Amino acid sequence: MRELLPAIDEWRAAGVGFGRAVLVRAFGSAPRPPGATLLVADDGRIAGSVSGGCVEGACFEEVGRARRTGRSRVVRYGISDETAWSVGLACGSTIDVLVEPVVRDALVAAARGAATTAVVTPLPPDAPTDADAAPADVGDATRQALAEGRSRTVITPEGQYFVEVFAGPPRLVVFGAVDIAISLARLAHELGYRVIVVDARPAFATAERFPAADELLVGWPDELADRLELGPGDAVAVLTHDPKLDDPAIRLALRAACRYVGAIGSRRTQAARRERLSGAGLDEEDLARLHGPIGLDLGGREPAEVALAIMAEVVADRYASTSRPMSER
């Protein structure tokens, strides 16, 4: 729901009421994950989605009904439901959608916060259930959901609960304020990443060149290590082609166990780089985590095309994707 905050702020400022529909459970190859949210304003405006377009029309009507009655309910849409054909859910999946007449302040605060947190919502007693799910403890399930960063519905002896996880924005740290980095920062920002650009050259790391960057740091990687506080949740792209900056940045990222570490350069450059890094104390297990050449091979060579290839690999790595076409998932 984080991406819907601008709409929430705009509608609240204008005094327009609104409710929401949120995906709480999915069976099969649903196009959106649990937690996907559709907002519906009293003046007819909408923001977000729960299914990528399949059931938004039906959810629009359900939110309007909830606004009139003040009651929440869970609606199941699926291929086995005769309603599915009328709303267009032809992807073969079944989804449960919680419809609420208002968006609670606790949800907005959680979406606005920088830290990863969860909000637990009891589902109505008549909500459809999952016959195959084993009962669980809501506290244990919440801790697991936070660890995985994924929302889920939990069945307990007392009832069903939706554990809605609001993950803090992922970070992309870019070493090298080069032309590719300009496009990369913009793409990452649009995908919800917090972007930090690092370069030892003040003339390169400027706000004019990087309007999409959340933070610009001037200095050498080792000098900035304490300020960066790299960790396992971070993605790092090393782009300068200069071993004086590239090598320390890679060592810093690999030793911090960053989730993704990629470095630009040809295979010959990569081989020489790996030899230097090995001589600097990195072992084969460390070097195996280095993506180089960086990015998925999309065929493009222009700066924006290379940035797209890098961001595609960062996203694929984040979701442990096999890079199969969407239609095969």
Task: Determine how many CB atoms are found less than 10 A away from the CB of residue 108.
Answer: 16
80, pLDDT greater than 80: no
Three-state secondary-structure class, residue 123: coil
Residue range 119-133: mean pLDDT, rounded: 95
323, pLDDT greater than 70: no
Query: Could you tell me the CA-to-CA distances from 223 to 129, 156, 182, 210, 227 in Å, in that order?
Result: 54, 50, 23, 22, 9
pLDDT of 30 reads 81
44, pLDDT greater than 50: yes
325, pLDDT greater than 60: no
Q: Residue 41: pLDDT band by 50, 70, 90 thresholds?
A: very high
Residue range 210-232: mean pLDDT, rounded: 94
The model carries a pTM of 0.69
pLDDT of 328 reads 35
Q: Which stretch of DSSP H or E encloses residue 269? A: helix 267-279
Contacts of 266 (CB under 8 A, 6+ apart): 293
Q: Mean pLDDT, the chain, as a whole number? A: 90
12, pLDDT greater than 60: yes
324, pLDDT greater than 50: no
pLDDT: which is higher, 74 or 147: 74
Contact status, residue 154 vs residue 141, Cβ threshold 8 Å: yes
CATH, range 171-318: 3.40.50.720
Q: Residue 327: pLDDT band by 50, 70, 90 thresholds?
A: very low
Contact status, residue 185 vs residue 174, Cβ threshold 8 Å: yes
Contact status, residue 95 vs residue 117, Cβ threshold 8 Å: no
CB-neighbour burial class of residue 66 (10 A; exposed 0-12, middle 13-18, buried 19+): buried
Helix runs in 96-178, H state only: 105-112, 138-148
Q: Residue 29: pLDDT band by 50, 70, 90 thresholds?
A: confident
Per residue in 150-163, pLDDT tens?
999 999 999 999 99
Strand partners, 85: none
Per residue in 127-148, pLDDT tens?
999 989 999 999 999 999 998 8
For the chain, give the percent of residues with pLDDT over 70.
Answer: 93
pLDDT of 91 reads 55
pLDDT of 253 reads 95
92, pLDDT greater than 70: no
Q: Residue 329: pLDDT band by 50, 70, 90 thresholds?
A: very low
Contact status, residue 30 vs residue 91, Cβ threshold 8 Å: yes
Domain extents in the chain: 2-166, 171-318
pLDDT of 172 reads 97
pLDDT of 242 reads 87
Query: Residue holding tokens 């709303």?
Result: 87
Residue range 76-95: mean pLDDT, rounded: 62
88, pLDDT greater than 80: no
84, pLDDT greater than 50: no
Residue range 301-305: mean pLDDT, rounded: 94
Residue range 235-251: mean pLDDT, rounded: 92
Tokens of 254: 């690999």
262, pLDDT greater than 50: yes
121, pLDDT greater than 80: yes
In angstroms, what is the C-alpha Rg of the chain?
A: 23
Three-state secondary-structure class, residue 128: coil
177, pLDDT greater than 70: yes
What single letter denotes the amino acid at residue 221? P
